[in-house]
Amino acid sequence: MKYSQKIKEKFLSAPDSCGVYLMHDLRAKVIYVGKANSLKLRLLSYLGADLNSKTASLMAKAEDIKFKLCASETLALLLEASLIRQFKPKYNISLKDDKSFPWVKITKEEFPRVYITRRKDKSAGRYLGPYTNAKLLKNALKIIRRSFMYRSCRRLPACRQGRPKPSCIYDKINLCAAPCSGKASPKQYRSIINNIILILEGRTDLLVKKLTKAMQDKSKVFDFEGAAEIRDQIAVLAEVSGGPVSFNCKTELEDLKNRLGLLTLPGRIEGFDISNFSGKQSVGSMVSFKNGSPDKNNYRRFRIKNFSGINDYKMLGQVVYRRYSRLVQENKALPSLVLIDGGKGHLLTAARRLKELNLNLPLVSIAKEKENIYSSQKAGILNFPKDAPAMNLIRKVRDEAHRFALGYHRLLRHKELTHV
């Protein structure tokens, strides 16, 4: 088998990681793109003696190789297809000619369909692919659809012509934006499709930046439910990508640690908020974040007991005391950091109740309007840049605590109204 010493050395030093590899010829032109769960094992197989004629020809012309590491095989699949479309490598010719490989088609309509096909026809629309693994592709679309809800049915034109039909099962189980029933405007639906295209092209980093900005904008106008919805979309991207790509969680944790003067990374953060309507159905929420991401199994909610009227400070104090008196009593692990949705007064209230339990946990609070940050570790208002990674993490915890408290409050109000 003929191949250059340079290419052999590069193959032998390949990382034992999931990713995509690009082979280049003597003129630095990309001649082949492939993916692998283990780049090292895949490339070592090229050095064997028993190669077919196509692979032998490829190895004879390969002069260099470059790698793009991926967090998951699914992301590698999407990136591989994107790079093949971009470079049109000579030795990926089988993907161009063989109709057995799946594509994703997005139809050219006001509300486009998204579906997998193995045949490219002449009807209007956009094709993404081809993809080398149908199972991984189906799984990726299944995950994507949970938050980026698209239509795959064929009946929409009839519905838009004034012949309404009952909503389909995908609408009922929240897997379709249901434009047929007017639940999504053309602009809203086009945004969903554009986001799906970014994912299928392997450009999740770009989409994360776009969604992060949108989430922050909603937080600024106190649309915490909208912010939480976008956060869930980012979590879907993390699942497709095989890890917490939604944000650079480690960067956020390190930035928060440095700005607050903590001794260790705040690996477990618990966030609190209070919700009530004119003092009625007062509730508190506690959310838990582990390594910068929501840990929903450890969320807790509280009904305010033996209390009437409106006093956020006392209600917060009760919830904080109940939470940590129980942890102390049961000898369970305490969080690295406690975050309060509120201003300096709320922070001091929480600190006082913790002191009653002989606890000295690090506390931080974020005021609603100007997003001033207060800390039990430092005096005065902390000067956090609004685009700092630490601020991003604080907002995430704050928004989630608010959403969780509001949801519980609405549930209790609904029960009260329906039992009158």
**Cβ atoms 23, 67 nearer than 8 A:** no
Domain membership flag for residue 310: yes
Asked if residue 148 and residue 285 are part of one domain, the reply reads no
Cα end-to-end span (Å), the chain: 84
| Cβ within 8 Å of residue 388, ≥6 positions away | 255, 259
Residue 47, SS3? coil
Count up the domains in the chain and report the number.
3
Most confidently predicted of 72-86, 246-260, 274-288: 72-86
Asked if residue 51 and residue 107 are part of one domain, the reply reads no
Asked if residue 385 and residue 259 are part of one domain, the reply reads yes
Question: What percentage of the chain exceeds 90 in pLDDT?
Answer: 27
- What pLDDT shows up at residue 405? 82
* 218-221: long-range contacts, CB 8 A cutoff, minimum separation 24: 219/395, 219/398, 219/399
Asked if residue 48 and residue 13 are part of one domain, the reply reads yes
Which segment of 2-16, 226-240, 313-327 scores lowest on mean pLDDT?
226-240
pLDDT beyond 60 at 246: no
Which residue, of 63, 88, 113, is where some domain finishes?
88
Asked if residue 126 and residue 15 are part of one domain, the reply reads no
Asked if residue 301 and residue 404 are part of one domain, the reply reads yes
Q: What is the mean pLDDT of residues 288-298?
A: 88
Asked if residue 413 and residue 310 are part of one domain, the reply reads yes
Token pair, residue 123, equals 């009807």
- What pLDDT shows up at residue 324? 95
Radius of gyration of the chain (CA): 27
Domain membership flag for residue 229: no
Asked if residue 279 and residue 145 are part of one domain, the reply reads no
Asked if residue 260 and residue 179 are part of one domain, the reply reads no
Average predicted confidence (pLDDT) for the chain: 83
Domain membership flag for residue 390: yes
- Taking the alpha carbons of 167, 169, 170, 174 in that order, is the dihedral positive or negative? positive
Q: What is the pLDDT of residues 365-406, one digit of tens each?
A: 998 777 899 998 888 899 888 778 888 899 889 988 888 888
Q: Residue 283 is part of a domain; what is its CATH number?
A: 3.30.420.340
- What range does the domain containing 385 cover? 249-418
**Cβ atoms 302, 322 nearer than 8 A:** yes
Asked if residue 172 and residue 256 are part of one domain, the reply reads no
Domain membership flag for residue 264: yes
Asked if residue 408 and residue 299 are part of one domain, the reply reads yes
**β 19-24/64-69 pair status:** antiparallel
Q: What is the mean pLDDT of residues 85-103?
A: 74
Question: Of residues 347 and 215, which shows the higher confidence score?
Answer: 347
pLDDT beyond 60 at 278: no
Domain membership flag for residue 150: yes
Domain membership flag for residue 186: yes
Domain membership flag for residue 94: no
Which residue, of 169, 202, 235, is where some domain finishes?
202
Q: Residue 43 is part of a domain; what is its CATH number?
A: 3.40.1440.10
Return the closest-CA partner of residue 109 out of 176, 149, 155, 171: 155
Asked if residue 55 and residue 152 are part of one domain, the reply reads no
Question: What percentage of the chain exceeds 70 in pLDDT?
Answer: 87
pTM above 0.85, yes or no: no
Which residue, of 35, 57, 88, is where some domain finishes?
88
Q: What is the pLDDT of residues 125-183, one digit of tens each?
A: 999 888 888 888 888 888 888 888 998 887 664 554 455 556 677 777 878 888 887 88
Residue whose pair of structure tokens reads 């305490």 in the numeric block: 334
pLDDT beyond 80 at 110: yes
Neighbours of 103 (CB within 10 A): 19
CA distance 343 to 348: 9
